[in-house]
Chains A and B, each alone.
Chain A
Amino acid sequence: MCLGVPGKIVSIDDMVGVVDFWGVKRDVAMHIVDEPVAVGDYVLVHVGFAIRRIPEEEIAETLSFFEQMAAEDLEGLSPPGAPPKPGTEPEALP
């Protein structure tokens, strides 16, 4: 049961969206995704509920993170989203 799958919203009607999982389309509940979603957005879906909008810029960020991780000279790198120092607020998303 515990399986998260990313897909792309192809249509949306109030709280139910149709999400394309690369060929398989499913109705997905939008009650608990925590930001506005629109057709064309990527979402992470778990047991029929979208639980996260996956922003394009975070996908690009992931690609550069992997590039860094695979680079040869790796001293001093930290991943995106590394925890802030205690007492500071987390960085805003780009």
Chain B
Amino acid sequence: MTQATPRRLEFRDVAQGKAMRARLSHAVAQAGRPVTLMHVCGSHEQAMARYGLRASFPKDLHVQMGPGCPVCVTDAPEIDACIALAARGLRVLTYGDMLRVPGRAMSLEDARAGGARVEVVYGATQAAQIARASSDPVVFFATGFETTAVATAALLLDDPPDNLVILSAHKWVPAAMEIVAQTPESKIEGFLAAGHAATITGYGIFERFVERYRVPVVVGGFEPLDILSALVLLVEQVSAGKAEVVNAFPRCVSREGNKKALSALWRVFDMADGEWRGIARIPSGNLALKPEFAKWDARERFGVELAEAPPVEERASAAECLCGKIMSGIAEPNDCPLFGKACRPDAPIGACMVSSEGACRIWHEHGLGLR
């Protein structure tokens, strides 16, 4: 308890990392078979790539990225709905990483090049500031998982300006984990849950999941030692035939989570069935504004139905795109015939190559899986 707080809260001790890696190898060997785990967070993939963790994993350990990229799972018709609002001359505000994601016909960036008023904001607070400084309606394209949805909720509970209109495409990750666990082709034997999302939800929400699907869930942080220790605790459970929820990120995550944030979230949003791009229609996978927030709901105010955007033939090459399979944990980026060839960061085809949180983009940028 007397150790000094690490500078910048970085936990990167090399000797400890090596010891954990040895322990990980030992646990995989104990399992006596290849072990496949899934994480559900772009930040976990980024950290594994950045710190070279993937290169240090034992040969028989496979860690796949599941549906953990909020940009990637935003459905094309949701983007089309946003473009349709921009096409009516409305000013549209979006998180920057949504800009280049293709809808069915075009991206928000394409729409902007065609003269639409599409602007990038850092977050919900900035969207409210922009709306307050204007008398015209301002549309905020509210995308992202529960962690980001909480920011949208806080904004709507803090006297939002009347001219701010929310187009919610928020998604609820635990619902997608259920779908992955039910996928017959899935080889996933354990889940590394995202520490920041669990900071909001608490690790308690995984208890029922673990009971139902008999797979362990370990909540992990994002420093190299956070990830290694969480993987050790997962593989050791797999080897021992256990399935429990373990919190390996207690400096941020509690069992109950952030009650204030959860209360804000469920005061503003209802769960709704929703399409996750390339994966499935996920029961309770989306977060829709409650009827009492209809005044700020773009769908209520402007009648934007997801079906409104005209269906357009997809580019031929997009049919080969494996994004959906990659996000479902049944393929890796280098299984895709387009990866690094027709589909590259400068010419992305699938959403996983567009977003800095997408598995394909991260692998490509770090030279992983390139032939």
Q: How far apart are B21's CB and chain A's nearest CB, in angstroms?
A: 10
Quick check: is A54 within 8 A (CB to CB) of the other chain?
A: yes
Taking a contact as CB atoms under 8 Å apart, the answer to whether B16 and A66 are in contact is yes
**Chain A neighbourhood of B19, CB < 8 A:** 69-72
Per-position 1/0 for B110-125, Cβ under 8 A of A: 0000000000001111
Known: A66-B229, A83-B247. A60 touches B258 (CB 8 A): no
Bound-complex Cα distance A78 to B236 (A): 11
Quick check: is A87 within 8 A (CB to CB) of the other chain?
A: no
Task: Please count how many residues in chain B sit with their CB below 8 Å of the partner chain's CB atoms.
Answer: 71
Per-position 1/0 for B1-36, Cβ under 8 A of A: 111011011010101110110010000000000000
Segment among B248-256, B332-340, B346-354 that sits at the interface with chain A: B248-256
Quick check: is B144 within 8 A (CB to CB) of the other chain?
A: yes
Known: A47-B144, A51-B196, A83-B245. A67 touches B9 (CB 8 A): no
Bound-complex Cα distance A9 to B152 (A): 22
Quick check: is B71 within 8 A (CB to CB) of the other chain?
A: yes
Q: How large is the interface on A (under 10, 10 to 19, 20 to 34, 35 or more residues)?
A: 35 or more
Known: A47-B124, A59-B9, A61-B250. A70 touches B199 (CB 8 A): no
**Chain B neighbourhood of A82, CB < 8 A:** 246-247
Query: In the complex, which residue of chain A has the Cβ closest to the Cβ of B70?
Result: A2
**Chain B neighbourhood of A38, CB < 8 A:** none
Taking a contact as CB atoms under 8 Å apart, the answer to whether A51 and B207 are in contact is no
Q: How far apart are A72's CB and chain B's nearest CB, in angstroms?
A: 8
Q: Which of these, B16, B42, B233, contacts A2 with CB under 8 Å?
A: B42
Within 8 A of B (CB), among A45-78: 46-49, 51-52, 54-67, 69-72, 74, 78
Query: In the complex, which residue of chain B has the Cβ closest to the Cβ of A55?
Result: B251
Taking a contact as CB atoms under 8 Å apart, the answer to whether A34 and B258 are in contact is yes
**Chain B residues at the A interface, C-beta cutoff of 8 Å:** 1-3, 5-6, 8-9, 11, 13, 15-17, 19-20, 23, 41-43, 69-71, 95-98, 122-126, 143-145, 147-148, 150-151, 154, 157-158, 195-196, 199-200, 203, 207, 222, 225, 228-229, 232-233, 244-256, 258-261, 264, 357
**Chain A residues at the B interface, C-beta cutoff of 8 Å:** 1-4, 6, 22, 27, 29, 31-34, 42, 44, 46-49, 51-52, 54-67, 69-72, 74, 78-84, 90, 93
